[in-house]
Structure 1
């Protein structure tokens, strides 16, 4: 299996028409998927249709589709045809990293969008998320991260301005709050909570899902020297994301 979508690109041997045509079919389908022209669930033309379109043998078409299936871009269903798969992302439970890295690991273009930014005093619900000791000003942010043409996840974040006063003056238009905070505040502890949830009307609209669709929610709190820094909730379409944890045996 290729390490990335880029590994599907090969340089055809000079004069080898079959190899050149195979690569052309592979590249054309891959580009339509990556660009978002063919969205997840789209049925790719049948083998006989591609054979006629490209003027080649069915074996050449089959080879290209098989390679795309191995790369995880399409799903081949017996008697039904081939369909575009939704990219499957993985996140490590105990790591804090940039969502851009998750998206680019899929070989898809990344885009970040700030949806709302509000500075306000902490309420009871905020203290439940950040900790009971938080009582001052907060910055509430809602962001959306895109993978290609589709929403990848929605980020709902609270920043404790007593711990990070610089955040009050940051616009967060070009830079997402996650990587910005990593560069500003050394965190000393983090807590992850992972759960399943059904998309409410707002979440469904934000992620382009049907209301009630399953979602994976990852919540994280971080502290710096016992002071709460941020609480963030990432909501992903459940069929496009997996959580990975790696463990080693304890000495005991």
Structure 2
């Protein structure tokens, strides 16, 4: 029995004994070969045609599995050249603010963003004011933005911007640059804060991020200030298997 015939048998058995979609099983089979080192960086992944013949499934199923692997940074997909095991992915330094567009492009994937919601609101009570970190009465510009890598959701962004601190944001259209990228490139900040926690994808989040329900996700809440005035409060939610953060420190340094 060949390697891929074995994979087919595994997939058939998994499909009959598991509620996981077949594309997830294909993804896990390929992940296992990469993680064990059986397929090292630069190894060519079998073509979509080979995979659909191996697993007895549709091209759409294979494409979804490969797209998930590409979004996780485990493989790179190039038109007409096929898919290959990617070099080790870059860690994101936790003590810095990374531009999401730059981060996606650095992994040789196509980037785009979509603003799914935009509104203006005023903070009207003390609890809300303490949660965001602004005085009561502050006007906030709200954005919900989905960032994509090769047309697969990379991170979901919910951002609130203090209009008193950045008044020009209220009338910008953001057709060619996301609000976060524009802030990073144009508005200096003097202090920042990250708060990180693990969450499970509820049905709505799973649908939006195109992951299975209850999949592990990373939620990052970030605030930045200029002097003592809040600039922005943003929450980014990443599928847990598509991201990793690292903090580098030295003996005697303190982390808070």
TM-score normalized with structure 1 length = 0.66
Partner Cα separation in structure 1 for residue 129 and residue 42 of structure 2: 45
Give SS of 2:177's match.
coil
2:195 alignment counterpart: 193
Distance verdict in 2 for CA 1:147–1:41, change over 3 Å: farther
Partner Cα separation in structure 1 for residue 38 and residue 196 of structure 2: 34
2:165 alignment counterpart: 163
> Would the aligned equivalents of 2:199 and 2:216 in 1 still touch at CA under 8 Å?
yes
Give SS of 1:70's match.
coil
Give SS of 1:202's match.
helix
**Bigger shift: 226-235 or 87-96?**
87-96
Partner Cα separation in structure 2 for residue 165 and residue 174 of structure 1: 19
Q: Which runs of 5+ in 2 are unaligned?
A: 1-22, 31-36, 47-53, 56-64, 75-88
Give SS of 1:191's match.
strand
Query: What is the aligned-residue RMSD (CA, Å)?
Result: 3.2
1:177 alignment counterpart: 179
Give SS of 2:144's match.
strand
Which of 1 and 2 has greater Rg? 1
The match for 2:204 among 199, 202, 205 is 202
2:73 alignment counterpart: 87
1:232 alignment counterpart: 234
The match for 1:244 among 226, 243, 246 is 246
Distance verdict in 2 for CA 1:74–1:208, change over 3 Å: same
Question: Which consecutive segments of 4 or more residues in structure 1 shift more than 3 A?
Answer: 39-44, 66-69, 71-75, 83-86, 123-126
Higher relative contact order (CA 8 A, sep 6+): 1
Q: Aligned residues, how many?
A: 190
Partner Cα separation in structure 1 for residue 145 and residue 25 of structure 2: 26
Partner Cα separation in structure 2 for residue 185 and residue 200 of structure 1: 34
Q: Which runs of 5+ in 1 are unaligned?
A: 1-38, 47-65
Partner Cα separation in structure 2 for residue 223 and residue 179 of structure 1: 16
Deviation at 1:199, TM superposition (A): 1.3
Give SS of 1:102's match.
helix
> Would the aligned equivalents of 1:192 and 1:221 in 2 still touch at CA under 8 Å?
yes
1:35 alignment counterpart: none
> Would the aligned equivalents of 2:122 and 2:139 in 1 still touch at CA under 8 Å?
yes
Give SS of 2:40's match.
helix
Distance verdict in 2 for CA 1:121–1:73, change over 3 Å: farther
